[in-house]
DNA sequence: GGACTTTAAATGTCTGACATTAAATTCGCA
DNA sequence: TGCGAATTTAATGTCAGACATTTAAAGTCC
């Protein structure tokens, strides 16, 4: 592992990249201990703070973990599914909020991906997954629920549907799509009538899942997508009209 | 923004979390300049190296960028789609390589997600996307191609299919699924006969895309998944037999 | 032999300094 | 007055050395 001291990039970035490559390429394996900071600073011919900055970069990506004490040090971390979920959600949320992605585009992507899980979930979902879906539908029908709580319950419903597919890789991929939509969904204010329609569609999906009817779940998701899109359009149109009422003169 | 000096967590991790929250919650907006390292170290009552470690953590996630010079400093970074792609691919690759995810599970997830793009891509794909797919099919049919090059071309083919959907959020989500599979695919050695079958299936998919036949693309992907799964099973079975021939005694 | 103490090795943090970069300012000159 | 070159300045990048803290292992005493 070598670095180029004349490169324009930060030394810490170069060192982090060198170690990251070693991990990705399998030269450093899970739970293996890296050399101590002092040894790394000798090896790369840089100071200890520079090495530390490099290690913090890797720690931020959950690639390593550090442990203090006599037998401590930096260890190659097994990237767990929950860690990966969290990164996925953060990245997706920022991507949507920072790039002026239209609600339409995000919504389309989200439902397209979720439909990918529908046939698998209908076949494999456990009684537990179905019970979670039913419980969330029940919660969503309660009158006093805040918009935020309604959206959170919506996310939980869809999570159960996705997890029902029994494929952790799929669940990981969908985490970003489903959870990152929540801030966008929160922007829509749900009236009682809107909620009732959504709950009814959720019930259709749960019924199809109970009957192990993959096509039914897929169609239910499509209907929900259409409902969500038209709802969002109505809200955005109303907002535009309220903000610029003079254009009608 | 405050931190707790008595918390067991690293100060740099706490500071990074505080700033990250400010960005995610919109209190710091894109291209806004953060206080200088000296000011941050005063504000959080820590030393400059500690602040720097926190900033490097954020830089590793592409949340900030730094600029040297008189008007330099740390700026909130707009997370670009290419940045997000790269993170997605790294995370997905590590997740698969470190968690003993079976080929079957990864393959199922990948094709399920890709089928989600099929109808959209069939409808919206440009002539360019189709041309890329045709070009890659042509490349894949050439005899002298190494396994690595064949797999890379395979990835390029599927990328074109996914990008054809014209939804950047979908492309971003699929980046991990498609690209992270490549190392796993590379583990399979393709014989001439295997390649011919795969190329034929690719051609079916391209034909369906040309005819704007979404169902055809979907079915083509399902056929390709079945082919890939049976191919992998054969390879793994052969390997197991070669490694443990005594078990037949 | 078990409980306690000591030791050592590692990360976590701080101080202060210097190097480097790049924009803003100043100065000199036409 | 206007413009280009030199200077200043403010920021990050890097370094050296020190001390604090944590943790496990080695050693010691009863």
A44-73 pLDDT, tens per residue? 999 999 999 999 999 999 999 999 999 999
CB contact under 8 A, A91 and B109: no
Give the nucleotide with minimal C1' distance to the Cα of A9: D13
Task: State the CATH number of the domain containing residue B217.
Answer: 1.20.120.530
Q: CB of A122 within 8 A of CB of A221?
A: no
**Cα atoms in the 13 Å half-sphere on the side-chain side of B208:** 21
| Closest by Cβ to B52, choosing from A53, A109, A117 | A53
Three-class DSSP category at B189: coil
Chain D nucleotides with an atom closer than 7 Å to a protein C-beta: 8-18, 21-25
The torsion angles phi and psi of A28, rounded to 5 degrees, stand at -115, 125
Distances (CA, A) of A64 to A23, A32, A212, B39, B207: 10, 10, 42, 29, 46
* CB < 7 A to strand C: residues 62-101, chain B: 67-72
Closest residue of chain A to B178, computed from CA coordinates: A173
Statement: residue B95 has pLDDT above 50: yes
The burial class, CB within 10 Å (0-12 / 13-18 / 19+), for A249 is: exposed
Query: Is B216 in the same domain as B100?
Result: yes
Phi, psi of B239 (to 5 degrees): -65, -45
Q: Does the CB of A245 fall within 7 Å of any strand D atom?
A: no
Alpha carbon distance B180, B114 (integer Å): 13
- Domain count across chain A: 2
- Cα dihedral B148→B149→B150→B151 (10° resolution): 50
A163/B123 Cα distance (integer angstroms): 29
CB B177 within 8 A of CB B161: no
The answer to whether residues B60 and B87 belong to one domain is no
Residue B50 is encoded by which pair of tokens?
Answer: 């500690």
Residue of A23, A31, A94, A123 to mutate, testing the B interface (most B Cβ within 10 Å of its Cβ): A94
From first to last of the 249 residues of chain A, give the pLDDT tens digit: 677 767 778 999 999 999 999 998 889 999 999 999 999 999 999 999 999 999 999 999 999 999 999 999 999 999 999 989 989 998 999 999 888 889 999 999 999 999 999 999 999 999 999 999 999 999 999 988 998 899 999 999 999 999 999 999 999 999 989 998 877 888 888 888 889 999 999 999 999 999 999 999 999 999 999 999 999 998 888 888 877 655 544
DSSP string, A174-212: HHHHHHTHHHHHHTSPPPHHHHHHHHHHHHHHHHHHHTT
Same domain, B24 and B48: yes
Model confidence, pTM: 0.84
User: Could you tell me the residue range of the domain that residue A200 belongs to?
Assistant: 81-243
Which of B32, B57, B76 is where one domain is finished? B76
Same domain assignment for residues B137 and B36: no
- Within 8 A by CB and 6+ apart from A190, the residues are A147, A150, A198
B197 touches strand D (CB under 7 A): no
Indicate whether A248 belongs to any domain.
no
Residue A101's alpha-carbon distances to A93, A177, B157, in angstroms, are 11, 13, 26
CB nearest B116 (choices: A26, A106, A116) = A116
Q: Which of A76, A93, A127 is the last residue of a domain?
A: A76
Domain boundary residue, one of A48, A76, A104? A76
Cβ neighbors of A174 (< 8 A, separation 6 or more) are: A113, A114, A117, A162
* Domain identity same for B171 and B234: yes
Does the residue A155 lie in any domain? yes
CATH number at B22 reads: 1.10.10.10
The sign of the torsion formed by the CA atoms of B174, B180, B181, B182 equals positive
Half-sphere exposure of A9 (CA within 13 A, CB side): 12
Distance from the B165 Cα atom to the nearest Cα atom in chain A, whole angstroms: 10
Q: How far is A5 from chain B (nearest CA, A)?
A: 18
What mean pLDDT is reported for chain B?
Answer: 91
Gap from A249 CA to D18 C1', Å: 74
Domain assignment present for residue A168? The answer is yes
Kindly state whether residues B68 and B96 are assigned to the same domain.
no
Give every CB contact of residue A102 below 8 A, 6+ residues apart in sequence. Answer: none
Establish whether the CB of A128 is closer than 7 Å to any nucleic acid atom in strand D: no
B5 pLDDT more than 70 = no
Q: Is the CB of A8 under 7 A from strand D?
A: no
């Amino acid at each position: 592992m070598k670095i180029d001291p004349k490169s324009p990039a930060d030394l810490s970035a170069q060192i982090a990249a060198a170690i990251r490559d070693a991990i990705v390429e399998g030269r450093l394996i899970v739970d293996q201990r890296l050399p101590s900071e002092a040894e790394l600073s000798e090896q790369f011919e840089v100071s200890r703070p520079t090495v530390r900055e490099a290690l913090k970069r890797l720690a931020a990506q959950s690639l390593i973990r550090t442990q203090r004490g006599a037998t401590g040090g930096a260890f190659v971390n097994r990237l767990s599914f929950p860690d990966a979920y969290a990164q996925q959600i953060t990245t997706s949320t920022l991507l949507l909020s920072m790039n002026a992605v239209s609600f339409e585009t995000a919504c389309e992507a989200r439902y397209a991906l979720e439909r990918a899980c529908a046939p698998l979930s209908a076949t494999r979902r456990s009684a537990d997954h179905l019970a979670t879906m039913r419980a969330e539908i029940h919660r969503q029908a309660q009158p006093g629920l805040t918009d935020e709580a309604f959206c959170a319950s919506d996310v939980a419903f869809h999570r159960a549907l996705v997890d029902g597919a029994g494929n952790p890789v799929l669940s990981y991929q969908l985490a970003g799509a489903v959870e990152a939509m929540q801030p966008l969904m929160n922007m829509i204010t749900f009236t009682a009538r809107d909620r009732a329609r959504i709950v009814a569609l959720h019930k259709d999906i749960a019924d199809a899942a109970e009957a192990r009817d993959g096509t039914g779940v897929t169609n239910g998701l499509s209907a929900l997508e259409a409902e969500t899109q038209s709802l969002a359009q109505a809200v955005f149109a109303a907002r535009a009209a309220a903000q610029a009422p003079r254009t009608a003169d």
